[in-house]
């Protein structure tokens, strides 16, 4: 037998609605039910202070009758009284509180009585009820994991969550307390009550290593904790199976998206009616100015999980579409005139990198499908170049005539000369010679002045103007390398 109190009754999913007119903080070890108030005085119980009286029908009608009943119940030694729902004035509640009697108004007395009986005398019955509801919930068709958790929560009357390490993957009902998420169970099944928080934790080993199913609530008795633990064990295979089904569906979705992206690239952005129909079905937008992003993992990783991570982080601040492509994940965002998405993309890269080692490349802005394909090629090249650039946090964004674009073009000799000359077109002849000498002299101002036969005070203003015209800093190692290659081509007369 277990004691019951108001918290346990409130947490019971089948106790029905009841109102607390007075809470005297009592706990009860037994329940005494009477069909009419008059029956209450025909039985003398041992230790009535540990008995909750439940009146199933009748009950006093007037205020003075209710006050009289509360006094008589207190005189008989009872410390708990549950009456059928009806009007209870404030005076009666205050009187019950002064006399040390917990007074309840119950909407469904029979259901309330059954819940009390389960809590204090029939733990097996409570467990069987929870198990039955758990089985019924898993028989409903669930569209995904969160949908299944909603069915289970509605059936059990408690909150559920699936967690991975310290991260909540999905939850329904009240948020799972951080202390419960952080708890590392020492046994396969962990069922504990700390304070007024009860929680059952089970590993989802059949679906994910390190993932757990958690059922939690407040005010549980030991009987409720045992019942919930058993019901959670019954539900565990269904939850694990739903996760595996979601994985299979995600793999199928990822494969379809990857095939579609390959078709767009192979068509070089020429979208025919059949391809347009597939794009509409995939809900991909390829209109307007777009900027491609390519992320390459630098460690072994689950491709579908990586796709979900990248789209989630890049899409945290802006709309995004994408798919698995080549050696990583390719996605794209809108790039309206006057708005630069690169800072947001850099922040997304940092969040992704906090969860796995990777390099990220961003292509320049392209218009429509053809422009997106060109941007994708650039992003893939930039991601490859970024892999060796720890100083840039393994992130590189290409743009028109930027130094990063020059480094990309260096890997494609047939386009490098034109790209280099375009990048340096803003410089005067003197500035171009100064830049070439400065880079040849390993960034020495004195060496540059000696090579050109001028005073060093002439060199410094020229370098500042060069930085302003190029929009780049000569203190950056990658920028100096790119510009050095470009000046060698531009001043040699090649091409």
The CATH number of residue 148's host domain is 3.30.450.40
Q: Which domain holds residue 130?
A: 124-245
If asked whether residues 308 and 426 sit together in one domain, one would say no
Q: Are 293 and 330 in contact (CB under 8 A)?
A: yes
Of 234-238, 309-313, 366-370, 384-388, which range is least confident?
384-388
In this prediction, residue 353 has a pLDDT band, given cuts at 50, 70 and 90, of: very high
User: Residues 392, 349: one domain?
Assistant: yes
pLDDT value of position 324: 94
Does residue 476 have a pLDDT over 90? no
Q: What is the pLDDT of residue 261?
A: 93
Q: Is residue 20 part of a domain?
A: yes
Predicted pLDDT of residue 133: 86
The answer to whether residue 404 sits within a structural domain is no
Q: Is 346 left (phi over 0), alpha (psi -120 to 50) or beta?
A: alpha
Instruction: Classify residue 410: in a domain, yes or no.
Output: no
Q: Which position has the higher pLDDT, 302 or 39?
A: 302
Average the pLDDT over 260-270 and give the result: 88
Give the mean model confidence (pLDDT) for residues 336-363. 90
DSSP string, 160-197: EEEEETTEEEEEESSPPPHHHHH---SSSSEEEEETTE
Residue 46 CA to residue 34 CA, distance in Å, equals: 16
pLDDT band at residue 89 using 50, 70 and 90 as cut-offs: low
Q: Which of 160, 147, 118, 152 is nearest to 133 (CA)?
A: 152
- Same domain for 272 and 210: no
Is residue 211, in this structure, part of any structural domain at all? yes
Nearest to 486 by CA among 432, 431, 434, 430: 432
Model pTM score:
0.53
Between 408 and 27, where is the model more confident? 27
Same domain, 272 and 386: yes
The answer to whether residue 461 scores a pLDDT higher than 60 is yes
- In this prediction, residue 87 has a pLDDT band, given cuts at 50, 70 and 90, of low
Q: What's the chain's average pLDDT?
A: 84
Closest to 352 (Cα-Cα) out of 385, 390, 309? 309
pLDDT band at 293 (very low <50, low <70, confident <90, very high): very high
In this predicted structure, what is the pLDDT of residue 346?
92
Same domain, residue pair 112 and 130: no
Main-chain phi, psi angles of 398, to 5 degrees? -95, 145
Least Cα distance to 99 among 80, 65, 68, 71 occurs for: 71
* Residue 478, pLDDT score: 67
Q: DSSP string of 25-93? A: ---BSEEEEESSGGGGGG-PPSSGGGEEEEE-S----SHHHHHHHHHHHHHTT--EEEEES----HHHH
pLDDT in tens, 111-169: 888 788 777 765 566 777 778 888 888 888 888 999 999 999 999 999 999 998 788 98
Residue 345 half-sphere exposure, CB side, CA atoms within 13 Å? 29
Largest pairwise CA distance in the chain: 120
Three-state DSSP class for 147?
helix
What is the average pLDDT across 93-112? 88
**Mind listing the pLDDT tens digit for each residue in 172-223?**
999 999 988 888 776 777 888 888 899 999 888 766 778 899 999 988 887 7
User: Are the beta carbons of 330 and 372 closer than 8 angstroms?
Assistant: no
Domain assignment present for 255? no
Same domain, 278 and 383: yes
Phi, psi of 200 (to 5 degrees): -120, 130
Buried b (16+ CB within 10 A) or exposed e, 119-146: bbbbbeebbebbbebbeebbeeebeebb
More confident: 315 or 404: 315
Residue 374 belongs to domain with CATH number: 3.30.70.270
Radius of gyration from C-alpha coordinates of the chain? 36
pLDDT of residue 50: 85
Neighbour-count burial of 307, counting CB atoms closer than 10 A to its CB (0-12 exposed, 13-18 middle, 19+ buried) = buried
Do both 56 and 90 map to the same domain?
yes
Most confident of 122-131, 198-207, 262-271, 320-329: 320-329
Q: What's the pLDDT at 206?
A: 66
The pLDDT value recorded for residue 404 is 52
Helix (H) or strand (E) holding 321: strand 321-325
407-427 mean pLDDT: 66
Domain boundary residue among 93, 121, 149? 121
Quick one: 43 and 109 in the same domain?
yes
Here the contacts of 153-160 (C-beta below 8 Å, separation 24 or greater) are 156/13, 156/130, 156/215, 156/228, 156/231, 157/11, 157/12, 157/13, 157/14, 158/11, 158/13, 158/215, 158/216, 158/217, 158/228, 159/215, 159/216, 159/217, 160/213, 160/214, 160/215, 160/216
**330, 220: one domain:** no
Answer yes or no: do 43 and 114 share one domain: yes
Domain assignment present for residue 260? The answer is: no
pLDDT > 60? residue 415:
no
Whether 74 shows a pLDDT value over 80: the answer reads: yes
Give the list of residues 6+ apart from residue 250 with CB closer than 8 angstroms, or none. Answer: 304, 308
For residue 477, what pLDDT band results from cuts at 50, 70 and 90?
low
64, 87, 121 — which closes off a domain?
121
pLDDT tier for residue 495 given thresholds of 50, 70 and 90: very low
Percent of the chain predicted with pLDDT > 70:
90
Distances (CA, A) of 294 to 99, 348, 359, 377: 73, 12, 8, 9
Element (H, E) at 205: none
Q: Count of domains in the chain?
A: 4
Pick the closest to residue 264 from 283, 286, 281, 288 (CA basis): 286
Do the Cβ atoms of 342 and 397 come closer than 8 Å?
yes
Q: In terms of domains, do 392 and 272 share one? A: yes
Same domain, 281 and 227: no
Categorize the per-residue pLDDT at 335 as very low, low, confident or very high, splitting at 50, 70 and 90. confident
Give the pLDDT score at 494: 43
Residue 416: its pLDDT value, please?
61
- Long-range CB pairs of 481-484, under 8 A, 24+ apart, other chains included: 481/403, 481/407, 482/403, 482/404, 482/406, 482/407, 482/410, 483/403, 483/406, 483/423, 483/424, 483/435, 483/439, 484/439, 484/440
pLDDT the model gives residue 199 = 92
Integer angstrom CA distances of residue 291 from 189, 359, 367:
49, 17, 9
Tell whether 472 is covered by a domain.
Answer: yes
Q: Express as a percent the part of the chain with pLDDT over 90.
A: 23
Of the three residues 88, 121, 154, the one that is the final residue of a domain is 121
Confidence band of 9 (pLDDT split at 50, 70, 90): confident
Which residue matches tokens 């993992």? 297
In a domain, 436, yes or no: yes
Answer yes or no: is pLDDT of 304 > 80: yes
């Amino acid at each position: 037998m277990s004691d019951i109190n108001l918290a346990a009754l409130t947490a019971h999913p089948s106790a029905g609605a009841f109102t607390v007119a007075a809470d005297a903080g009592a706990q009860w070890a037994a329940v005494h039910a009477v069909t009419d108030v008059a029956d209450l005085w025909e039985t003398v119980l041992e230790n009535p202070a540990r008995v909750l009286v439940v009146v199933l029908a009748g009950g006093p009608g007037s205020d003075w009758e209710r006050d009289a009943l509360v006094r008589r119940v207190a005189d008989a030694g009872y410390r708990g009284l549950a009456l059928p729902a009806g009007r209870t004035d404030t005076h009666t509640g205050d009187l019950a509180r002064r006399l040390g009697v917990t007074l309840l108004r119950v909407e469904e007395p029979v259901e309330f009585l059954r819940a009390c009986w389960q809590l204090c005398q029939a733990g097996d019955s409570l467990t069987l009820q929870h198990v039955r509801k758990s089985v019924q919930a898993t028989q409903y068709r669930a569209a995904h994991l969160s949908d299944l958790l909603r069915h289970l929560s509605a059936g059990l009357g408690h909150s559920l969550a699936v967690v991975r390490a310290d991260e909540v993957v999905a939850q329904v009902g009240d948020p799972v307390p951080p202390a419960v998420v952080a708890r590392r169970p020492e046994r396969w099944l962990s069922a504990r009550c700390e304070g007024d928080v009860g929680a059952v934790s089970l590993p989802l080993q059949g679906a994910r290593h390190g993932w757990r199913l958690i059922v939690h609530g407040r005010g549980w008795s030991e009987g409720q904790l045992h019942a919930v633990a058993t019901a959670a064990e019954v539900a565990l295979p269904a939850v694990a199976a739903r996760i595996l089904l979601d994985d299979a569906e995600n793999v199928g979705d990822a494969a379809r998206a990857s095939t579609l992206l390959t078709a767009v690239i192979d068509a070089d952005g020429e979208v025919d009616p059949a391809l347009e129909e597939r794009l509409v079905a995939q809900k991909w937008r390829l209109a307007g100015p777009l900027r491609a992003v390519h992320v390459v993992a630098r460690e072994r990783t689950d491709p579908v999980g990586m796709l979900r991570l990248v789209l989630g982080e890049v899409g945290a601040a802006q709309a995004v579409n994408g798919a698995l492509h080549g050696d990583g994940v390719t996605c794209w965002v809108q790039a309206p005139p006057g708005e630069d998405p690169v800072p947001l993309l850099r922040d997304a890269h940092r969040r992704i990198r906090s969860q796995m080692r990777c390099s990220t490349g961003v292509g320049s802005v392209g218009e429509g499908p053809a422009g997106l394909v060109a941007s994708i090629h650039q992003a893939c090249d930039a991601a490859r170049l970024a892999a060796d650039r720890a100083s840039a946090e393994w992130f590189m964004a290409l743009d028109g005539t930027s130094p990063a674009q020059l480094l990309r073009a260096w890997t494609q000799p047939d386009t490098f000369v034109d790209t280099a000359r375009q990048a340096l077109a803003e410089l005067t002849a003197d500035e171009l010679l100064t830049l070439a000498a400065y880079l040849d002299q390993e960034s020495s101002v004195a060496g540059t002045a000696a090579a050109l036969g001028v005073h060093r005070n002439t060199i410094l203003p020229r370098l500042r103007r060069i930085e302003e015209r190029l929009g780049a800093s000569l203190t950056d190692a990658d920028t100096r390398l790119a510009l050095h290659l470009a000046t060698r081509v531009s001043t040699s007369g090649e091409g």
